[in-house]
Amino acid sequence: MKGSPLTDRNSKSSDKTTINVTDGTLIPLKDEGSLLTSWNIAFFGAVLLLILLPILSPDPYLRILSFVPDGLIATFSVTLVSIFFALLIGLFAGLGRISQKLFVNRIATVYVEVIRGIPLLVQLFYIYYALGPLLKLKGPAAAILAMSICYGAYMAEIFRAGMQAIPRGQMEAALALGMSRSMAMRRIIIPQTIRIILPPIGNEFIALLKDSSLVSILAVSDLLRRGREYASTSFRYFESYTVIALIYLVMTLFFSRLVAMMEERLRHRGKVH
């Protein structure tokens, strides 16, 4: 499940029974010391293939590689804009999930439950085709809207779990000092939450980067669609999709390493200062 490392926090006391599975991608562990870590093999293997294949066989690999960069830009734009709005939606929906106001709480919870219960692909179809006549959105806009709404729900759960992981005494201490609830949220609770939730958010980013390939069905010329375009005109299906797969792999592995490094730094924060 997305965000599970946080929701499982109750089992932390019995570390042996905790499983740590993310749907982002493999998070390299630091204690895997050698050069032949699974991450190194996968990442440098993929990079090597992306360099060697065009050299050894420029047709079609070099052609494919020069055909897809537009798609890369589209993939990143959709991912970055979507993650931005997903974070925004997630923050407010997450606050709603822990709100003591019943009405707000219900709305946020229903949103999270409904959205998480519908596959992203169906949501993309729904917003682009079903609501198309109503919203009149172009492909990229519909893609961003659908991805933001979908990932916002998962982000909401990360924010909720993160905020609930902060001991209650923190809020009480802030209130006892005369702070308002919202000031305590801004100055005490949310800054601590961000530290906890950065790694799972990094994971969501990677998951979203991968899921952004789904938007190729909405006439968005992302990486996958560019590959498909090349394949369907050249009939080089194997080569085209091999390159696309390798590019996705290099990107996700690269970001997973970044997330892992960030996690490592956060763990040591406070001690280094």
Listed in sequence order, the residues at least 6 apart from 25 whose beta carbon sits closer than 8 Å to its beta carbon are 203, 206, 210, 252, 253, 255, 256
The one among 1, 173, 245, 261 contacting another protein by CB under 8 A? 173
Work out whether 119 is an interface residue with another protein (CB under 8 A). Answer: no
Nearer to another protein, 173 or 245 (CB): 173
The verdict on 41 binding another protein (CB under 8 A) reads: no
Regarding 268 and contact with another protein (CB under 8 A), the answer is no
Shortest reach from residue 97's CB to another protein, in Å: 22
**Residues between 191 and 220 that touch another protein (CB under 8 A):** 191-192, 195
> Which listed range, 132-140, 152-160, 188-196, 238-246, lies at the site for another protein (CB under 8 A)?
188-196
Residue 271 and residue 246 in contact, taking contact as beta carbons nearer than 8 Å: no
Cβ proximity to another protein, 16 vs 168, nearer residue: 168
- Burial of residue 271 (number of CB atoms within 10 Å: 0-12, 13-18, 19+): exposed
Q: Which is nearer to another protein, 73 or 175 (CB)?
A: 175
Least Å from the CB of residue 173 to another protein: 4
> Quick one: 138 or 267, whose CB is closer to another protein?
267
Compute the residue count for the chain: 273
| Start-to-end CA span in the chain (Å) | 35
Residue 133 makes contact with another protein by CB under 8 A = no
User: Binding to another protein by residue 265, rule CB under 8 A?
Assistant: no
Using alpha carbons, select from 4, 55, 1, 6 the residue that is nearest to residue 193: 6
Nearest to 19 by CA among 30, 7, 32, 33: 7
Task: Give the count of beta carbons closer than 10 Å to the beta carbon of residue 174.
Answer: 18
CA–CA distance, 258 with 207 (Å, rounded to integer): 14
| Helix H or strand E segment including 70 | helix 69-97
Q: Rank residues 16 and 271 by Cβ distance to another protein and give the closer one.
A: 271
Q: Contacting another protein (CB under 8 A), which of 53, 142, 147, 188? A: 188
Residues 53-72 that bind another protein (CB under 8 A): none
Smallest separation (angstroms) from another protein to the CB of 113: 28
**CB nearer another protein, residue 118 or residue 173:** 173
Q: Which residues contact 139 (CB under 8 A, 6 or more apart)?
A: 128, 215, 218, 219, 220
Binding mask 143-172 for another protein (x = CB under 8 A): ------------------------x-xx-x
Q: How far is CA 89 from the centre of its chain?
A: 14
Identity of the residue, 105 or 192, whose beta carbon is nearer to another protein in the bound complex: 192
Burial of 220 (0-12, 13-18, 19+ CB in 10 A): buried
Interface with another protein: number of residues (CB under 8 A): 21
Residues within the interface to another protein (CB under 8 A): 167, 169-170, 172-180, 183, 187-188, 191-192, 195, 270-271, 273
